[in-house]
Amino acid sequence: MHEGKDTFRERLEGLRALSRGLLAGARDAASLEEARVRLLGRKGELTALLRSVGELSVAERPEAGGLANQLKAEIAAALEAAAHELAAGRRAEALDVSLPGRVRPLGTVHPITQVMEEVVATFTRMGFEVEEGPEVELDYYNFEALNMPRDHPARDMQDSFFVSDRVVLRTHTSPIQVRVMEKRQPPLRVIGPGKAFRCDSDVSHTPMFHQVEGFMVDEGVSMANLKAVLGQFAEQTFGAAPLRFRPSFFPFTEPSAEVDIRCTVCGGSGCRVCKGTGWLEILGAGLIDPEVFRAVGVDPERWSGFAFGMGIERIAMLKYGIDDIRLFFDNDLRFLGQF
Summarize pLDDT for 114-163 with one digit per residue, the tens: 999 999 999 999 999 999 999 999 999 998 999 888 876 767 666 778 88
Mean pLDDT of residues grouped by 10 in the chain (339 residues)? Answer: 65 84 80 83 82 81 84 85 76 67 82 94 95 92 88 71 88 93 94 89 77 95 94 86 88 92 79 81 92 93 95 87 84 84
CA pair distance 225, 128, nearest whole angstrom = 14
pLDDT of 272? 75
pLDDT of 136? 93
Residues 6 or more apart whose Cβ sits within 8 Å of residue 326: 203, 206
Q: Can you name the residues that pair with 288 across neighbouring β-strands?
A: 253
pLDDT of 140? 92
Q: Can you name the residues that pair with 79 across neighbouring β-strands?
A: none
Domain extent listing, the chain? 2-94, 111-336
pLDDT of 162? 82
Q: Can you name the residues that pair with 289 across neighbouring β-strands?
A: none
Query: The domain at 111-336 falls in which architecture?
Result: 2-Layer Sandwich (3.30)
Residues 6 or more apart whose Cβ sits within 8 Å of residue 269: 278
pLDDT of 198? 87
pLDDT of 4? 62
Q: Can you name the residues that pair with 191 across neighbouring β-strands?
A: 130, 214
CA pair distance 85, 96, nearest whole angstrom = 19
pLDDT of 2? 47
C-alpha distances out from residue 273 to 102, 279, 318, Å: 42, 9, 10
Q: Is 73 helix (H, G, I), strand (E, B) or coil?
A: helix
